[in-house]
Amino acid sequence: MSATVEERPTPALTEPRKVAPAKDSRKLIRSQVRAGWLFLAPALLHSGIFIVIPVVAAIVLSFTDYSFGDSWSWIGFANYSELFQDVDFRAALANTLLYAVVVVPLSMAISLAVAIGLNQKIKAIGFFRTAFYLPTVTATVAIATIWLWIYNPGSGLANGFLSLFGFAPGRWLSDPSTALPSLMVVGIWQGLGTKIIIYLAALQGVSRDLMESASLDGANRWQRFVNVTWPALGPVQFFVLVTSIVGTFQVFDLVYVMTRGGPGTETHVLVLDIYQNAFQALRLGFASAETVIMMLVIAIFIGLGRLLQKADVND
Amino acid sequence: MRRGAGLVVLVAAIGLVASACGNGVIDKSTDGVPPAEATGTLRVLLPSFPASTKGREAFEKVVEDFHKTYPKMKVEPDFATYNNLNEKMSTSIAAGIPYDVMVTGVGWVQPFASKRIFTDLAAYGVTPDVIREKSIAAMIQPATYDGKLYAYPLVADARAVALRVSAFKEAGLDPDNPPTSLEELKVAAEKLTKRDANGTITRSGMDLASPTGFRQSFTTFLASTGTPLYVDGEPNFDNEKGLETLNWIKSMINNVQPYGQQNAAQQPLVLTGEAAMGIVGGAVDCTDKGIGQANCDDLKFFRFDSGKEIEYVGGDLASIGSRSRHKDAAWAFIQSLTQPTTLDEIAKLNKKLPAYKDAANSPQAKSNPLSKFVAEGLPHAINENSPPSNWLEMRGNFDIQLTQAVLGQKDPAKVLANLAGQSR
């Protein structure tokens, strides 16, 4: 018995088995790594050309006085120190922060409410889903043009509607006190579609078993929403938050078409200020410094969002 | 070894992409090549030809004339507008494919010349002294930088003031004795302003032609007090006259004209009857296709005069890009562009005046009463005078900060001091 047992691990039989799989697996791993890089290559090349190079270029340019002319020089942090004394930049930063702080939570809340509504078994659900998504696929310039008419002080829909209730006509976009809120309304409305679709997909992924269990335990609708739906939406909330913050910080076309940043600096936002400094004042170095600051502010906001959402870093 | 080879392939691929993006459209230089043999593409940026069939036809005539000298060269036009002119120019420079011919406005030439983006036209025998014999005087200074000529004047964009005779009579004012000084204008404008029961302005007493920016209005009204905006590149508005002018504009907005008022067609409000008096451009169409003869007959024109009779004059000027590889061809194109018949055509299309010396006798000046009036007023021409080298940046600063002062968001004196400090 014992001899038989001792004979089991015969080198002649086991050694080739040990060596062969190791070689094969290394080969397999190498080919998998190659395939991985091959599949990644287009995305890496794209990111390298259109993201990494421009970002590095912006950082480098921010330390120069380049203004499209023949000569330029390194000026250290001069653009940055000038930036924080620039009243237009400060106004643009404040307006952008205010725009983000108002538009992001409001649009998320409205989108979630609408998504919950669209997740019910109601008639013409397809029509409603399409209608809510329509602004997202419409060009911002077209949307802005329609809203320009809505806000027109003389013949606009907004004043026409208010006049039915005896309100005095408003000068929505030319009154300093209403210009930015008017843009916020358009921004919220335009951004609903994408968020609704994402929330809708997440809502349909909420575990029915958990919902049924909660119902059986006697939980009402609100309790089911708070204790089952809301926690299940966590990762999606974080995704929507991040994309919304980035989107609101990048607001430009809406402002460009509707107010050009006016009246005064009431609707002056960061990207518009960057655009004007770069392509109208021809101060590309200065505008690059502004871009770097904007990237940092966005990063800080996303960091804060992560903290608030207590999101899993490894999502 | 393999890694090294992979890296080489990657670098080669990126290089290929970069070279395809960067140099594919740049021609070989044709300078010094006989015109008949020169080949390539001449890129021209022009806000002077409107996006209409007539505009395109007029441009084609220029190209035909150019092709008599350069038959093998292709002309690639970019019909920009003044709203996106800077964007077009800066992005073309950044992309490494700058335009060969660039048509810009008054206030553009000096900043671009200082950045060496435009070429000194002396190489083609055109100096300030030469152009003085050929063009209207108002366009010489805006085309000159550091004693050299960097642009060839095409058309002049002159502005006058118009009044509605019927509105003046209705308000008990004498249309034959129009108000010209700041004080008189305010008194008359207040009388001419009509409001509804809620106090909302239904007809403006005066259209300042500045729906959202007051840079040109401020320059105009300030100049009418005998104070040019800049003198030798130095600010000349941070003073008593400047403050008086800005406070006057502030007293007019939302008093005789609501802030932001403009019509859908962005036409001068006095021509449509939405204002009783106001700043107008350089031409009026009195035919039925335009505002009609009856409306025209109700108009009278005059100039501002708060101590100095003035007429604001802007305009279009053609320059050659300093990085152009077809400078000789670009000059030939400018010569085709500045044929008197072409300038007449551009003037008609843009409601401006041809910038040649005898503009007062041009077909455009004889075609309508407003053009005749502004042509006669060219000796009174003013503009920003000698703006600083950062004028392109200051244009936006003026628009924003003057608006803040006018709307009461900032102290006018501090705004002027700030603008003066920013001018460099």
Nearest residue of chain A to residue B94 (CA atoms): A68
Residues of B in contact with A276 (CB under 8 A): 396
Superfamily of chain region B33-158+314-376: Periplasmic binding protein-like II (3.40.190.10)
pLDDT, tens digit, 9 for 90 and up, residues A195-226? 999 999 999 989 889 989 999 999 998 999 99
B5 reaches A (C-beta below 8 A) = no
Q: For A279, which of B91, B200, B403 is closest by C-beta distance?
A: B91
User: Which residues have a Cβ under 8 Å from the Cβ of A39 and sit 6 or more positions away?
Assistant: none
Task: Give the burial string for A171-181 (b: 16+ CB within 10 Å, else e).
Answer: bbbbbbebbbe
pLDDT, tens digit, 9 for 90 and up, residues A93-134? 999 999 999 999 999 999 999 999 998 888 888 888 888 888
Residues of B in contact with A178 (CB under 8 A): none
Contact B322, B54 (CB under 8 A): no
The Cα of B322 is separated from the nearest Cα of chain A by a number of Å equal to: 10
Residue A315: the pLDDT is: 44
SS3 B303: coil
The residue written with tokens 């075609």 in the block is B367
Contact B317, B352 (CB under 8 A): no
The ipTM, to two decimals, is 0.78
The Cα of B117 is separated from the nearest Cα of chain A by a number of Å equal to: 6
What class has domain B160-312+385-422? alpha beta
Contact B260, B186 (CB under 8 A): no
Q: For B393, which of A174, A176, A283 is closest by C-beta distance?
A: A283
B137 reaches A (C-beta below 8 A) = no
Most B CBs within 10 A among A31, A65, A67, hence the mutation to make, goes to A67
The secondary structure of B214-244 as a DSSP string is -HHHHHHHHHTTT--SEETTEE--SSHHHHH
Contact A114, A196 (CB under 8 A): yes
Q: For A263, which of B116, B198, B259 is closest by C-beta distance?
A: B259
Q: How far is CA A277 from CA A86, A271, B328, in A?
A: 12, 10, 33
User: Residue A304's pLDDT band (boundaries 50, 70, 90)?
Assistant: confident
Residue A305: the pLDDT is: 78
What class has domain A81-309? mainly alpha
Domain extent listing, chain B: 33-158+314-376, 160-312+385-422
User: Which residues have a Cβ under 8 Å from the Cβ of B348 and sit 6 or more positions away?
Assistant: B363, B364, B367
Nearest residue of chain A to residue B202 (CA atoms): A154
Tell me the average confidence (pLDDT) per consecutive run of 10 residues in chain B, 424 residues long.
Answer: 50 51 65 93 93 92 97 94 86 85 91 90 94 93 93 96 97 96 97 90 92 89 96 94 97 93 84 94 91 94 96 95 94 96 95 94 95 96 88 89 92 96 90
Q: How far is CA B324 from CA A166, B153, B263, B294, B329, in A?
A: 62, 20, 41, 50, 10
Between CA B284 and CA B280 the distance in angstroms is 9
- Count the neighbouring beta carbons within 10 Å of the beta carbon of residue B92: 19
Q: For A49, which of B17, B400, B407 is closest by C-beta distance?
A: B17
B47 reaches A (C-beta below 8 A) = no
- Count the neighbouring beta carbons within 10 Å of the beta carbon of residue B389: 17
Domain extent listing, chain A: 2-61, 81-309
Between CA A290 and CA A268 the distance in angstroms is 14
Beta strands at B40-45 and B73-78: parallel, antiparallel or unpaired: parallel
